[in-house]
Amino acid sequence: MVRPTFEYENKPVKAAGLLVWTESKGKKWTLFRKYKGKWSDMGGKTDAVDNNIIDTVVREVCEETNNSLFCKDDKDCASKVRDMLAASLHGNKMVYVPKCKYLLFHCRCDDIFDLSLSRFGVAEQKLAHQYGWFTAPPRPIHFRLRALRDDLINP
């Protein structure tokens, strides 16, 4: 299958993802997903069904959270993620990682911090998804996020 390549500021994008953060108890918290032993964002490669970078992020977030980022089995998860990304274009960070042609959206998302992380259910391998809120980048962290540590701490 041929995966599309999109552009961001005249740079090729072959994958994209999302890190959400919020403020609680006077601290900034970022939601990370553990996959194959590494903490990462929610995201992945472009797919033939994607028409643009936003489509890639929306599809990947919905897949990797079982449509449960905002609540369990959310029928409107895709439209809510799309709205959050649209809002991110007006003030939140987008970071390009040249090594893997990856575009990371770093968006504030309130009202989900106190929700149970068990809402994400099981992953593709029938194992429970592992998510966690952190005030600093966790270890081990996925290689594409290593160079972004300062950006991840300071929105």
Residues 88-98 have pLDDT tens digits of 777 668 899 99
Q: Indicate the pTM of the whole model.
A: 0.93
Residues 18 and 94: beta-carbon distance below 8 Å: no
pLDDT for 151 equals 65
Residue 75, C-beta contacts closer than 8 angstroms, at least 6 positions apart? 67
Given a cut of 70, the residues of the chain with pLDDT beneath it are 91-92, 149-155
Q: What is the DSSP letter of 119?
A: G
Give the C-alpha separation, 145 to 105, whole Å: 12
Taking each helix axis from N to C terminus, what angle separates 53-64 and 77-88, rounded to the nearest 10 degrees? 130
Measured between alpha carbons, how far is 117 from 127 in angstroms, rounded to an integer?
14
CA-based torsion, 116, 142, 66, 22: positive or negative: positive
Task: Give pLDDT, residue 37.
Answer: 92
pLDDT on residue 7: 97
